[in-house]
Chains A and B, each alone.
Chain A
Amino acid sequence: MTHWTLRLPFVSLRLSARGSAIALALALMIAAGALLALRLGSYPLAPGTWGAILGGAGSDIEQMILLDHRLPRILTALGAGACFGLSGAMFQTMLRNPLASPDVIGFNAGASCGALVAIIAAGSAATGGTILLGALLGAFCTAVLVTGLAWRNGLQAERLVLIGLGVGFALAALSDLLLSRTDARTAADMTKWLIGTLNARDWQDVTLVWAGLALLSPMLVWLHFPLARLGLPEDLAGGLGLRLSQLRLTITALGIVLATLAVCSAGPLPFVAFAAGPIARALLRNGQPALLGAAAIGALLVLAADTAARMIVTLHLPAGVFTALIGGPVMIWLLVTQLRKGKL
C-alpha cells in the first residue's frame, strides 16, 4: 500500500494512494450521475444547450425545466445524501456499531415527526425556518430520550440500537396519526416527511442543505482526527488523551444537525445514513471512519434512488422506496456478518 506524505509548515498529512484513487472515482461517478440525471426527463434538453440556458438564453419552458425543476432536485439529492452519509458514518464510528445510524436509532423519525408537528402547529404560516426548527427539536428530543433510556453505567451501542428501533417505530406511528388528523391536501404534501421524496425541490432546499454542509465542514475536518481514533476500545482512546465525553457530545450534536438537514430537504429517506458508511468502509478497507467516502456514497445512493423514481414515472413511487431497496440488502448483509461475529 502506497502512501503520500504532505508536509507544509503548519499542516502534515498522510494519504493512502488507494483512498485517493477511490475518492477520485467516486467524484467522477457523482459528476457522471448528475449529468445523466440532468438529461433525463420527458422534455428533451440536449446537453449542448445547457450552457446557453444557464447563461439566460433559451425559452421560458427550457429555463423552468432545467433551472427550477431538474437542477435543484439533483443538487438537493446530492446534498441530502451527503448529509445522511456523514451523519451515519459519524454515529457508526463513534458507537463502534454499524447498526447505530440515525435512521435505525430513530433520530430521522424524530426529525420528521418534529417537522410534521411544526407544519400543523404553524398552519399556513409555516416557513422553511419553522419546519427546520421543528425537525431539529424533534431530532434532539428523540436523541435525549433514546440515550436516556439506553443509559446504564454508560452507553452500550447494542442497547441503544434496540431502544432506538422501538422509539423510531413509535414516532413513525405518531407521524401517521398526525397525518390522519390533517386535511387531504396538507396530508399529500406531508408524505415527504414519512417516506422521503425529492419531488418539487426548489432552490430553498438546495440552499438549506448546501449552506448547512458548508458551515459544518470545518467542524467535520476537525472531528475526522479524533473520530479515526474513537474506533479503538474506549480505554485506549482515553489513554491516547482524547476527551471522550466532550467528543461524544460534539459528534452527537453534529450528527443530529446533519441528519436533520437531510430530513428537512429530502424527508427521512430510509437506509441511506445506514448503508453509506459500511459501503464506503468496505471499499476503502483501511479501518478508517471514511467520512468523505460515506458522504460520496450517500450522495450517489440518493441520486440513484431519485433518478430511478423519475424514470418509472407511471408508478409515482417516492425515492424512499428505492433507497430502501438498496439499503435493505446491505442491512441483511451487516446483520448476518455481525451475528456471525457474535455481536449485534
Chain B
Amino acid sequence: MTQPASLYADQPTRQDAPQDARLRARTLSVAYAQASILSDLTLDIPDGEITVIVGPNACGKSTLLRSLARLQRLSGGQVLLDGKSIHHQRSRGVAQRLAILPQSPTAPEGLTVHDLVSRGRTPHQSALQQWSRQDARAVEQALERTGMAPLAQRSLEALSGGQRQRAWIAMALAQETDILLLDEPTTYLDLPHQIELLTLVQSLNQDSGQTVAMVLHDINLAARFASHMIALRSGEVFAKGRPEQVVTRENMAEVFGLKCQIISDPVHATPHVIPE
C-alpha cells in the first residue's frame, strides 16, 4: 500500500500484474426516473495509485464518484469497500477510510479556513470528543501540506478561487483516509495552479500511499498525473488502463468525438493530445 505509484510509462510492471483494490464497483447501475445514467459498470480503483476518470460532459463521471462514496442510490450492482458492500457499512466507518470532495462545493458564510478544515475530522469526532489532540494535529498538518496555514483564520469568501480549492483539499486531507475521491479539483484554477494542485495530489499519493481517484477534464494533465485511467462514454466504461493505453487516437475519437494526433510528451513521456 505504501509503495509509490508507477507514474510513467517506463514502469509498466505493476500495471500489468493483477491489482489489489480496496474500492471496487461491480455491475453498478444508476438511473434517475427511468433514464439510465450508469449501466453495468465494473471497475477497480487500484490501491496506492492515481486513477483519473475522463469523459465528455454529462457522461456520468460525478455520478460514478458519488456512487463510489455511497452518496448515490444505486439501481443495480454494488460498490465494495474492503470486500463489503459500501451501502451496508456504517457511514462513519466508511468516512474514516474514504473521503470525497464533490464538484465545486460551497461553504456556509463566515466559515474560516481553519473551521472548514476541522470539519474534515468529523468521522473521528463525536458530540463529546470534538477536539482531541489527534484532531488538532491532523488539521495543522493538512493546513501545512496545502500551504494554507498562513490563511487559516481567513473566511472562505475572502480567498481566491485557487486558495479556496486548496482549503477544500485540506479539509479532505484532515479526514486522514486511505482513499481520496476528487471531483474536478482543478476547476477555476489557471494552468500553473492546476499543475501545483495536481503536484500536491501526486506528492500525497507518493508520500503516504493514499489511493486517489479523480475526475479531470484536461486529457493531457490526466495522462501526465494518472497511473491508471478510466474513460467513460454515456455511462459505460469505454477504456481503462495505463494512460498510453487509454489516450489513443481511436479512443479520443470514440469517447469525445475528437479528431487528434497523439504525440509523446517530450518532457514526461506521457501521451499528449494534439487536436486536429
Contacts and interface: CB of A to CB of B under 8 A. Distances in A.
B110 interface: yes
Nearest to A223: B127
Interface in B111-154: 111-112, 115, 118-120, 122-123, 125-133, 135-136, 153
Contacts of A221: 127
Contacts of B13: none
A12 B130 contact: yes
B274 interface: no
A239 B71 contact: yes
Contact of A14 (B66, B94, B101, B131): B131
A224 to B, nearest CB: 7
Given A1-B153, A286-B111, A240 B131 contact: no
Interface stretch (A3-11, A22-30, A177-185): A3-11
B131 A13 contact: yes
A8 to B, nearest CB: 9
A258 B266 CA distance: 67
A287 B129 contact: no
Nearest to B122: A240
Nearest to B98: A239
B99 interface: yes
Q: Is the interface of A mostly helix, strand, loop or mixed?
A: mixed
B132 A233 contact: no
Interface in A201-233: 221-222, 224-226, 228-229, 231-233
B106 A12 contact: no
Interface in A248-306: 281, 284-288
Contacts of A233: 102, 105-106
Contacts of B135: 12
A243 B109 CA distance: 23
A286 B111 CA distance: 5
A50 to B, nearest CB: 39
B110 A286 contact: yes
A5 B120 CA distance: 18
A236 B105 contact: yes
Interface residues of B, number: 45
Contacts, number: 104
Contacts of A232: 105, 107-108, 119
A287 B112 contact: yes
A277 to B, nearest CB: 12
Q: Which of A12, A224, A240, A288 has the largest number of chain B CB atoms within 10 A?
A: A240
Contacts of A10: 128-129
Interface in B12-70: 32-33, 66, 69-70
A167 to B, nearest CB: 26
B232 interface: no
B98 to A, nearest CB: 8
B69 A239 contact: yes
Q: Which of B66, B92, B118, B119 has the largest number of chain A CB atoms within 10 A?
A: B119
Nearest to B105: A233
Contacts of A153: 32-33
Contact of B109 (A235, A241, A242, A287): A287
A81 to B, nearest CB: 24
A241 B95 contact: yes
Nearest to A341: B109
Contacts of B131: 5-7, 12-14
Interface of B: 32-33, 66, 69-71, 90-96, 99-102, 105-112, 115, 118-120, 122-123, 125-133, 135-136, 153, 155, 175
Ordered nearest first, which 4 A-B pairs have the shortest CB separation? A241-B95, A287-B111, A231-B108, A241-B92
Interface of A: 1, 5-7, 10-14, 96, 153, 221-222, 224-226, 228-229, 231-233, 235-236, 238-243, 281, 284-288
Given A241-B91, A241-B96, 8 more contacts: A153-B33, A225-B125, A235-B105, A236-B100, A238-B70, A239-B71, A241-B122, A287-B108
